[in-house]
Amino acid sequence: MTLTDQEIIAYLEGLDRESKAIKEELLKMCWYMRGGLTYEESMYLSREEREIIAALIGENLETTKKSGLPFF
């Protein structure tokens, strides 16, 4: 299979967007974890682990909203 220059560029740009999205997700997790997870540690998380942590953060945000306690 061969790709044109444009297809290769589009593929690489897609990888770049995915990489940036993962980095943004990891940095947000680190922020919400308040030092409980370093950026370096987060880089070793599997997709499943990231999904579990994201769900936990979401649950905690909901609990905070419902309880009226300050989060930030």
pTM, rounded to two decimals: 0.79
Q: Is the pLDDT of residue 72 over 70?
A: no
Determine the residue type at 23. Answer: K
Domain ranges of the chain: 5-67
Give pLDDT tens digits for 12-59: 999 999 999 999 999 999 999 988 999 999 999 999 999 999 999 999
Nearest to 30 by CA among 17, 18, 20, 45: 45
Nearest to 47 by CA among 30, 25, 20, 69: 25
CA distance 24 to 68: 28
* Token reading at 14: 């897609």
